Structure 1
Amino acid sequence: MKNTKQELLRRLQRQYHRYNPWRLARGGLYIPHSYAETKPDSLSWWDDVGFILNGRRVIVWWQHPRQIYADAIDEQSYRSAGDDPQDDWLTQGSTKNYRQVGASRKKIVSYTSRQPSEAKRLYYERLEEIKNRLTKEGVDVEVSLSWKLERLTWALGVSLIAPLEVRNESEAASLARLARRLILGETALDIEFPEYRYNQADWLREN
């Protein structure tokens, strides 16, 4: 028995792609980011790539496990820094900047934010100190690999955590091929990267 909701999504995905075609790069890939300034030996953190599968768009939102590990450092830094003083200094108490537009008229053209309160400034300093220390020392976290398929009205979305390096269009193509094979059931992450875990030792070695 057909799932009417899934059939509707498939139809909407094909219709969207038919009337809003992607500008595809060489190899039939949608590559939204430039690698012109990416060094060939740099570490990768995240990227996006798209391709067409059975007349439907697939968009891959990829993160390297080191990105998840770095996020864990950020989260632990905020927890360790304590309560954040309530001081909305970016939007409250700002100074209006005017430009003359007539003999007697002025127009607001920008705002200058005030300085944060002393409590907020000390909090930022404490947070930065903790984050620098945890970045240097690492945290006791292990990152596993995962992928998740999400059916949207305009595409299939793939959230993927895998230990690839994506620094050029060729490596973006490798990412797209992995996502395609996962969707089609031709492989699995534990087959591609058996027993892989990203941990503190990996972070310290890379940093």
Structure 2
Amino acid sequence: MKLERFERLRKAQKAYHRRCKWVMKNGIYVIHSYDEKKPDDLSWWDDAGFILGDRRVMVWWQHPRFVYADALDEQARKEAGHSPVNGRLFDDGIPNHKPVGRSRKKIINYTVPPGTDEARQYYDRLGTIKQRLQKEGMDVAVKPRWQRECLSWATGVELVAPLEVRNETELENVTDLANRLLRGQTTLENEFPGYAYGREQWLQEQDKR
């Protein structure tokens, strides 16, 4: 049954590739502009696509520092305690998104009009905790990882790897790594032996953030 499903997805991927054309640059489907990027900027996440055989591959890449920063935010919310706005519907609230994973964004909180003293106190407390964690870091180790997913229109690759992407040339490093991982030509341990992003790396980069 699993093989039948895989075969259906494979055919769907080929059909989608025939119908919908990508505009490629040097063999890569480039989504974002790098005009405002500086050569020494820190990188956080990016998306890119390429063709493997006659099917599409979509790569959703994150730098380990992005995953680490997300862990800091999660810890801040945990320490801040129950939010007084949880479980309510805020028609006037503005959702704040964070790019992450395959969907590339998720709602992490809402900006709401001035409300109760309880709400203001909560967000003041949350902000104070976030500032402390941003300054001190915490003991979390983010290691390179990747996951393959078979979709109806492409092969999806979620990739966490310590690369820097500030231009299209550096973006090629992301797609090249994903390509070799899919082909079984390398592993993340071979590429980044013993690598882990943690408090030490976070604090070393404070001035650049």
**Which range, TM-score by smaller chain?**
0.7 to 0.9
Moved more, 80-89 or 62-71: 80-89
- Displacement of 1:89 in angstroms is 8.2
- Secondary structure (helix, strand or coil) at the match of 1:41 reads coil
Segments of 5+ residues of structure 1 without an aligned counterpart are 94-112
Deviations 1:47-99 (A, max 9, x none): 00100111111000000000110011000000000111137584269xxxxxx
How many residues are matched? 187
Residues 35 and 167 in structure 1, CA contact (< 8 A), matched pair in contact too: yes
Deviations 1:141-176 (A, max 9, x none): 011110000000000000000000011000001110
| 1:67-78 to 2 correspondences below 5 Å | 67-78=66-77
What residue is the counterpart of 1:63 in the other structure? 62
What residue is the counterpart of 1:22 in the other structure? 22
- Secondary structure (helix, strand or coil) at the match of 2:149 reads strand
Higher Cα radius of gyration: 1
C-alpha distance in structure 1 between counterparts of 2:85 and 2:31, whole Å: 38
C-alpha distance in structure 2 between counterparts of 1:153 and 1:82, whole Å: 40
What residue is the counterpart of 1:134 in the other structure? 133
Q: TM-score, normalization: structure 2?
A: 0.85
**CA RMSD after TM alignment:** 1.9
C-alpha distance in structure 2 between counterparts of 1:138 and 1:86, whole Å: 27
What residue is the counterpart of 2:49 in the other structure? 50
Residues 89 and 114 in structure 1, CA contact (< 8 A), matched pair in contact too: no
- Secondary structure (helix, strand or coil) at the match of 1:167 reads coil
Residues 89 and 115 in structure 1, CA contact (< 8 A), matched pair in contact too: no
| 1:1-207 to 2 correspondences below 5 Å | 3-25=3-25, 27-86=26-85, 90-91=90-91, 114-207=113-206
- Displacement of 1:4 in angstroms is 1.7
C-alpha distance in structure 2 between counterparts of 1:173 and 1:162, whole Å: 14
Paired AA for residue 91 in structure 1: D
1:114 and 1:89, CA in 2 relative to 1: closer, same or farther beyond 3 A?
A: farther
C-alpha distance in structure 2 between counterparts of 1:153 and 1:204, whole Å: 42
